[in-house]
Amino acid sequence: MHELDRRDALILTELQRDSRQSIAQIAERTGLSTTPCWKRLRELEARGVITAYTALVDREQVGLGLCVIAEVNLSPHTEDTVQRFEREVAACPPIVSCYSTTGQSDYVMRVLVRDIKAYDRFLHDTVFKLPGVTHVRSSMVLREVKAQGRLPIEVPAGHAPSGSAGHPPV
């Protein structure tokens, strides 16, 4: 884990709000001049704090109308089975997130597909063929109440950055 100072936290918050901002815009909103802001940004990338830049896409606008939360159980729980399962899940585009969990299921996955028929095909053609899968419990998402990619980064206390007037608190 990397300790973030106030300026780094503000830079990350701004990038998550809008990663298309220029360095000058980020610098202004974080109270830095352009060169130090650029250096901090490059350092955050080098340390692996920033792992990628991406666009958030409305899934329904691109034909992915069904979101499913799938709970999966494996057997046997051998290192080989787990590694093979995780490798195949990582390579499967409809599975957009997968978590190894405690509780009733071994894994919880978020799956995006066109519709219920596509999910049925996906179960039979993909999930049931994954190594070690013994049980799948699927929950269809009726409505997304909150679905964002932003992390709740805590900004250490300090004075407001200069040039932040008119911007919402971060």
pLDDT along the chain (170 residues), means of 10: 87 94 96 96 96 91 97 96 97 98 97 98 97 97 89 78 44
Q: What is the pLDDT of residue 165?
A: 40
Determine if the peptide bond prior to 76 is cis (ω within 30°): yes
Which H, E and C letters describe 56-112, residue by residue?
CCCHHHHCCCEEEEEEEEECCCCHHHHHHHHHHHHCCCCEEEEEECCCCCCEEEEEE
pLDDT at 166: 41
Instruction: Give pLDDT, residue 1.
Output: 66
What's the confidence (pLDDT) of residue 159? 53
**Measured on CA atoms in the order 31, 35, 39, 45, is the torsion positive or negative?**
positive
Distance CA 110, CA 88 (A): 15
